[in-house]
Amino acid sequence: MAIKKGFVYYILSTLFISVLLFSYIVGDVAVQLMDFTGWLFFVLSCLSHSALVMFVVWLVMYLPWALLRLPRVGAVLLVTTTSLLAILIFLNMQVYHIYRFHINGMVLSMVMGEGASDIFVFSPLLYLKEVGLLALIALLCVGLWFVAVRLYRRFGKPLLVSSITLFLVSLLCANALHAYGAFVQKTSILQSVRMIPYYFPITTTRWLIKHGVVPPVPKVTVDSRTGGILNYPRHPLQITPPQQPDTNSAPNILFLLIDSWNRRSLTPETMPVAYAFAQENEWFADHISSCNDTRYSVFTLFTGLQPYYYPAFEASHTSPLLVDRLLDSGYDFRVYPSSNILNPPFNRLLFQRVPNLRVETPGDNALERDQRIAADFVADLPDLKEADRPFFAFVFFDLPHSYDLPKDSLNRFLPTWEFADYARLTNDLDPTPFWNLYRHTCYQTDLLLGHIFQRLKELGMYDNTIILLTGDHSQEFNENRKNYWGHASNFSLAQIGVPLLVRRPGYESRKYNHRTTHYDIPATLMHDYLNVTNPLEDYCAGHLLTDSVSRLWHFVGNELRNAFLVEGDTIIIKEGNGWMEVTDAHLNPVKDYHLNPRELDQAFKKLNSFYK
């Protein structure tokens, strides 16, 4: 009987928690994006997520005590835990409506830390109202126990089975709908999932693409710039002059991106072509990415916004303003990807307006694909020269990310591994052979850069082409002595610091030592070459590359796991589980770090400035 009472309370509390989760969408601008499928997914997600969370609570807080014949102890623990959880969900909803993200360690530090009173100034009446609401929620949770006691005799086996079936069906259907929505980029599903705190339904996109199913390019049914959740740009773009560029003066733009490009490889021995290019043009020596992986860093390179906005762009099918301006200005837009751009879905996220988009390149390995894209671009140059408009080309090399080279090309840097033997990686391992393998990949990429630069010069196109050469993110070889290898694992400069080399007509060679970021690249192109006269903060999070203004509180990461870089490259990290950690630039923990609530509040406001 005691177990049955507790289980009836589990059912009732699940329904109550699901109502609280559903209330997150009330008053949110995402309501206008919802359709029947979106509402069905959101309701089922609230129900199934509540059922899973409350089942864990029931399993831990009540069932053991009921089995020990101490049901009253279990009841107190169950009701108390449910009350605290419901209060936390309600408070989180208030935080979400203000900051567009869920409660985490940074928020708690800002609210409870020294100086919080300078930011959060509330009237006594507001405090009284808040206490009343929280007390009401707690009383409702307590009241549900007495309702459960009254109802448990009426809850026969059929009703219990029906409830369990409902929760299981909602779990399966919500995940199936999300897998479908993620694959076809269903706006109502992708936009509503972000509201439910720490909810991670399944996706099958990678598996489907691997098995030959090509995701459709969604048709945009909502203009997100007027009717969606994004406020991007914050004010309409002002273009001067409004006409298309004069083909005799408008520069071509060549964007060369190297996957996983470590700064230390930019030497005359490893990359002689790139190093000479750096010496002859603008070298931004302290450049950093916006993330430690490809998906989010490439997103920033075309949007100028923090990767935090990636889900909103994906859900609303918003095209980057940089791409729009290039197309609207008459540029012939070409994409040459070594790895396919179906997953991550850059074809649907960044290049949805680009006609005749190339989404993949044939080849048995990264070297063959990289050689193919370089050869294809070089082969297209004569036609691009003869065209009556400038071109924008995006050439994305993959070899330094793959380490895949034939043995006969591994004789320049010794000693070297012949392949990446990940099983041998330890903190005490000498990284030299692994690093030399990586240097070989960079050397091969450098040869391809040489072919491109040489052909541009032969055709007389070099002097009228803006060339941007950088990496999406870096590749770590245990530089911090914390046994980190590769990328996507921390936010130190070993994983986000990349070279940035720029050639611009009319600019002399110069090495800049001030901090620059990926956010600055779209800002510079839009402001200097695409006739956008708005203040930069209207359409991006960056500054002009030559502007030495501080880049403190630099956001890096994604919507789940991210960090701010502050003085001395101290890293304030928000982990995926919500907890906060602070380390120095080399990942050593910083104890008793004083987090300035006012500065953090300003950083949050800037981070959210492109949401309505």
Give pLDDT tens digits for 221-230.
Answer: 444 454 568 9
Do residue 203 and residue 235 come from a single domain? no
pTM of the entire predicted model: 0.85
Buried b (16+ CB within 10 A) or exposed e, 545-577: bbeeeebebbbbbbbeebbbbbeebbbbbbeee
What is the spatial distance between Cα 583 and Cα 563, in angstroms, rounded to a whole number? 11
Grade residue 535 by pLDDT with cuts at 50, 70 and 90.
Answer: very high
What is the spatial distance between Cα 202 and Cα 180, in angstroms, rounded to a whole number? 10
What is the percent of the chain with per-residue pLDDT over 70, rounded to a whole number? 93
Q: What backbone phi and psi angles, to 5 degrees, belong to 398? A: -120, -10
Do residue 549 and residue 487 come from a single domain? yes
Task: Name the amino acid, one letter, at 269.
Answer: E
Do residue 161 and residue 291 come from a single domain? no
Do residue 199 and residue 239 come from a single domain? no
> How long, in residues, is the chain?
612
pLDDT at 113 over 70: no
Do residue 244 and residue 340 come from a single domain? yes
Average pLDDT of the segment spanning 178-205: 86
Here the tokens at position 173 are 């259907």
Structural domain total, the chain: 2
Q: At what angle do helices 157-184 and 36-61 cross, to 10 degrees?
A: 130
Grade residue 207 by pLDDT with cuts at 50, 70 and 90.
Answer: confident
Grade residue 218 by pLDDT with cuts at 50, 70 and 90.
Answer: low
Average pLDDT of the segment spanning 461-483: 97
What does the pLDDT read at residue 575?
A: 84
User: In whole numbers, what is the pLDDT of the chain averaged over residues?
Assistant: 90
Q: What backbone phi and psi angles, to 5 degrees, belong to 487? A: -150, 180
The DSSP output letter for 237 is P
What is the spatial distance between Cα 353 and Cα 581, in angstroms, rounded to a whole number? 40
219 within domain boundaries: no
pLDDT at 515 over 60: yes
What does the pLDDT read at residue 221?
A: 42
Domain boundary among 210, 244, 269: 210
What value does the CA radius of gyration of the chain take, rounded to a whole number of Å? 27
Task: Name the amino acid, one letter, at 548.
Answer: S
Do residue 452 and residue 511 come from a single domain? yes
Average pLDDT of the segment spanning 591-606: 86
Average pLDDT of the segment spanning 598-609: 88
Do residue 16 and residue 101 come from a single domain? yes
Q: What are 417-471's pLDDT values in tens digits?
A: 999 999 899 999 999 999 999 999 999 999 999 999 999 999 999 999 999 999 9
37-46, 203-212, 332-341: least confidently modelled range: 203-212
Identify the residue with better confidence: 164 or 153.
164
Query: Of the candidates 207, 248, 330, 279, which has an alpha carbon nearest to the alpha carbon of residue 509?
Result: 279
What is the spatial distance between Cα 582 and Cα 193, in angstroms, rounded to a whole number? 29
What does the pLDDT read at residue 224?
A: 47
Grade residue 242 by pLDDT with cuts at 50, 70 and 90.
Answer: low
Average pLDDT of the segment spanning 36-56: 94
Domain boundary among 183, 210, 237: 210
Do residue 498 and residue 572 come from a single domain? yes
Do residue 127 and residue 164 come from a single domain? yes
Grade residue 71 by pLDDT with cuts at 50, 70 and 90.
Answer: confident
Domain limits at 121?
2-210
Query: Of the candidates 309, 327, 209, which has an alpha carbon nearest to the alpha carbon of residue 335?
Result: 327
Residues 587 and 492: beta-carbon distance below 8 Å: yes
Domain boundary among 179, 210, 241: 210
What is the percent of the chain with per-residue pLDDT over 90, rounded to a whole number? 68
218 within domain boundaries: no
269-273, 460-464, 573-577: least confidently modelled range: 573-577
Do residue 177 and residue 306 come from a single domain? no
Do residue 204 and residue 229 come from a single domain? no
612 within domain boundaries: no
What does the pLDDT read at residue 559?
A: 83
Grade residue 306 by pLDDT with cuts at 50, 70 and 90.
Answer: very high
145-149, 168-172, 395-399, 431-435: least confidently modelled range: 145-149
Average pLDDT of the segment spanning 400-422: 94
What is the spatial distance between Cα 67 and Cα 472, in angstroms, rounded to a whole number? 56
